[in-house]
Structures are given as C-alpha cells and as structure tokens.
Structure 1
C-alpha cells in the first residue's frame, strides 16, 4: 500500500491511524501527520509508533499516494489550498468532513477526491464506513480506499444525495443511540428501586446481546420483537407505546439534522 497522510488529528483521525497500524495495513514509517495541536491521542501514537512522521504537510505531501483531510468543515478549503501545491498529481484526496460535497472539493483541486464518513464504532472494528467518490476516481483508487477501510469496518458506497441521512444511521448513530438508552435507563431508575449503575449495566448487556442477534443470527428488528413480545404480553404493551410515540420523534431528529447539514453546506459553499 502507498504512503498515507493525515491532516488534522482528532478522534476520527486517531481511530483511522490506530486501526491501520494495528492491522499492519501500513508501517509506521509510511504514515505522515500534519496537525496544529499535539494532544494526548497524538502523544500516545508517538509513544507507541515512534517512526510515524509528524510535521507540516509541505514536507511530506509529495510522498503520499493518499491523503485524508480530517479537519472540521470550515477548515477544508484552507487545507486543500495548502495541500494542492505540494501533493503528487496522482494522489487520492479523501475528506471526512460533513457538509462538504464532492463538487466543492473538486473545485479546489485537480486530484481525484472522495468523501468518507467514519463512525466511532470502528474503534471496536465494526460499523459502516460511508463512501462517495468523485467522477475522476479510478477503479483502482476506489479499490484501494475500500480495502483500507475494510480493515476495520464494513464499506458502503452510496449516492451523495443520501449521505446525510445515512450518516445519521452510521456516524451519528452511536451518539443518538446513547441518548435514547440513557433516557430508557433513567426511566427504569425513576420507576423502581434500581440504582443507576444497575440499570445501565443491565441495558448495556441487553444492547450488546441484541446487536449480536441482529448480526450473527441475521434477525430483523421485527423478528427480534416477535421473539420477545408475545401476543397480549408485557413487552407488547411497551412496544405499542414506542411505536406510537417514536415516529414523530425520529422524523423531528431527521428534520433538524438534515437542516443542520444544509446550513453547513451553504456556509462551506460561501467560503469556496
């Protein structure tokens, strides 16, 4: 595999670097990082992998066949303009920023560009990596990126028009799921003598087991509900409440998040 550069080193960049090195997808001396701050994550990476090169992109960009831009959306334009004079013309540029369409990326560079939306669950070597490729990305570059991401996730190429909604189900999902089930556990505490620690422990194990059933047994949500909820039983009563109340809640979640994506895209377009 070619040498890889990372620009920015937040949570997702750290996940990518750690997983690539862990799975020996690249060697430490084939990884380059440009970042404005050296936080705990980067210090740990340096301690574990002293051969990683950390320095300004101007000093290493020409050596890399793939560069992942891992900065917030408002800094993508600035980063591309720094990168373009130094990167090899055949290198593949991959942005992980939300709200920055391929067309806006392509307007700043002649290199092949793709978008990749990571997920926190890939720290546990699971989850779905969403990918959208620009028109100039070759079949080989697509295969190389998919192979890279497959080291720690399932890879799904989708239409860019569906990317924001899909991101709610992959990238945002761990946070949204955590918010939902924290409320579920808190309700158990309010309605029983359970402690918060007990409620969270019980629920976390139930979530883990349900996930295993859904993936390993290839069960659908409806099949899982049918296995637990007997007709006229207790679980069915609870499921009816959820099925009645939650459609409106989730429609509002999508309405607000998709509006936020649109606002972010418009702000980025204004910059570019």
Structure 2
C-alpha cells in the first residue's frame, strides 16, 4: 500500500484522513501530515492513531505516491513549488481547493494532478465527491483514487467547466441547506407558539425522512410534492409561494458564488 501525504489539516483534511484510516485504505505509519498549526484537531487524530507522522513535507514527500494539498486556494501554487524537488511524473497530487484550475496546477509540476471537491456529509459516509482528473494521469492512478474516495462517498467525475456550479450542490450545499431551513424554522417560531428547539427538532427529522424517501424510494422532488400536496390544499399554497419567490434568490446566489470562483482563479493566475 502506498504512502499518503496531507498538506494542511483543516476540517476537510481531518475528514479525509479519518475515513481513509477507518476503512483501511491506509495504515497509520503510511500517513504523513504537514500543517503549520498543530492544533486540537491534529492532536485528536494522533491520540487516536499514534503512528501517524506529523512532519515537514521535505522529510516525507519523496516517498509518497499520493499527496493531497488541503490548503486555502491562494496557498496552493506556493505549496506545489515547495513540492517540486520531491515529486515526479509517477506522483499523484490531489488539490481540494476551489478556484484553482488544472491548467494552473499542471504548469507547476510534472506530477499527475486531480482536483477533488469533498463534502462535509462524507463524515456521515454520505454525499457526493466531485473529481476532475488531468489527462496526463494513467487509468490506474485515476481508478485507485476513485476507489479510495468511494469508501466514504459517491464519487462523480465531472467536466471541470461544471465543477464550480456542481460544488454549490455538493460541497457548499449543506451550508446552503442549513441557511434555508434555519429561516424556515425561525418563521414557524415567529408565526406560532413553538419554541426554537421544537421547530428545529421537527424540521431536522423531516429533512432526514425526506432525504431517505428521495434516495431509498428513488422519488423525485416533483413526486414528493405530489404525494404531500393535495389539490387545493395547504401544502400546495405554500409551495406556490416558494416557487414564486425562491428562483430569484437562488439565481442571485449562483451569480455571487460563481463570481467568487472566478475571482479566486484570477488571483491564483497572478501567482504564476
């Protein structure tokens, strides 16, 4: 089994490391981590897995066949440059950063490159991981990475041109869903005698059950609405309001987030 390196150790890196270890995709002594701040998150991992190594990449990068860069977008290019003396065309480098396209990554290294957009839902072994592979990667390298990721998520290869919009539906979606349904719960509180705790509890269980119906029963959104909304009934009245108001909200959300991705790309380009 090949050695794996992680550079940066935020919440997503922690999720990836723990899932790979939990599912036997790597042994403790084969995982190497470099992070500038060795805080509570890393200390907790090393308490659970004491044979994981936390050291400067200069001391392990040359021996790792797979290296995941988990630093913020505007630190990715400098990290690739630090890696340059220690990697070769047989090394597989994976960036989880938004807004830094393959063409900029490929220009900095001879190693094979993939972009991986994880989702926090993978902590519950659910959700979708988005992957874009460099054409320079071998079929075996692509397959090995996809197999590793599939132990804790559903892996979908996607065109890079669609990656930013798709990320809104996978990686960012839990945050957007939380924001939308928090407002729904708070509206119920304002319009009733329900406590915030009651409203949140009722809605969270409804979300969980709706997700199970959509996945396990393979129901579409439209079919779910038809099952709940009787003709001329209360649910239909509410759904009409939502359909009249929310399209503009979501179009503005996509416009703002896609512009942010474009800005990150422009800033990354200035570093090359």
Structure 2: any 5+ residue segments left out of the alignment? none
Mapping for residues 39-54 of structure 1, pairs under 5 Å: 39-54=39-54
1:89 Cα deviation after fit: 3.6
Residue correspondence of structure 1 range 96-135 to structure 2 within 5 A = 96-135=96-135
Kept in 2, the 8 Å contact 1:69–1:96? The answer is yes
5 Å-filtered alignment, 1:70-219, equals 70-219=70-219
Question: Within 1, Cα distance between the matches of 2:212 and 2:54?
Answer: 39
* Aligned-partner Cα distance in 1 for 2:61–2:129: 25
Partner residue in 2 for 1:10: 10
Q: Is the 8 A contact 1:29 1:51 kept in 2?
A: yes
Residue deviations 1:65-113 (CA, integer Å, cap 9, x gap): 1000000011001100111101244110000000000000000001100
Query: Where does residue 248 of structure 1 map in the other structure?
Result: 248
Any idea what the Cα deviations from partners look like across 1:205-237, whole Å, max 9, x if unmatched? 000000000001111000000000011000000
Shift in Å, 1:40? 1.1
Query: Matches of 1:200 and 1:178 in 2, distance apart?
Result: 11
Q: Structure 1: how far apart are the matches of 2:43 and 2:88?
A: 29
Q: Distance in 2 between matches of 1:110 and 1:91?
A: 9
Secondary structure class of the residue paired with 2:85: coil
Q: Is the contact made by 2:88 and 2:110 (CA closer than 8 Å) also made in structure 1?
A: no
Q: Which position in structure 1 is the counterpart of 2:269?
A: 269
Return the alpha-carbon distance in structure 1 between the equivalents of residues 2 and 210 of structure 2.
Answer: 39
The ranges of structure 1 where at least 4 consecutive aligned residues each deviate by more than 3 angstroms after the TM superposition are none
State whether residues 68 and 94 of structure 1, in contact with CA within 8 Å, keep that contact through their aligned partners in structure 2: yes
Deviation digits for residues 144-181 of structure 1 (CA, Å, limit 9, x no counterpart) = 01001001000000000000000000000000000000
Q: Summarize deviations over 1:219-272 as a string: whole Å, max 9, x none.
A: 100000000001100000000000110111110010000011001100001111
Q: Secondary structure at the match of 1:271?
A: coil
Tell me the residue number matched to 1:238.
238
Q: Is the 8 A contact 1:61 1:88 kept in 2?
A: no
Residue of structure 2 equivalent to 1:222: 222
Count of aligned pairs between the two proteins: 272
Decide whether the 8 Å contact of 2:4 with 2:30 is kept in 1: yes
TM-score, length-normalised on structure 1?
0.99
Equivalent residues of 1:63, 1:88 under 8 A apart: no
Ranges in structure 1 where 5+ consecutive residues have no aligned partner? none
**What is the CA-CA distance between 1:43 and the residue it aligns to?**
0.5
Matched residue SS, 1:129: strand
Q: Who is 1:62 aligned against?
A: 62
Conserved 8 A contact 1:185-1:199: yes
TM-score, normalization: structure 2?
Answer: 0.99
CA deviations on 1:11-61 (whole Å, 9 max, x unpaired) are 100000000111111110110101101111100001000100110001001
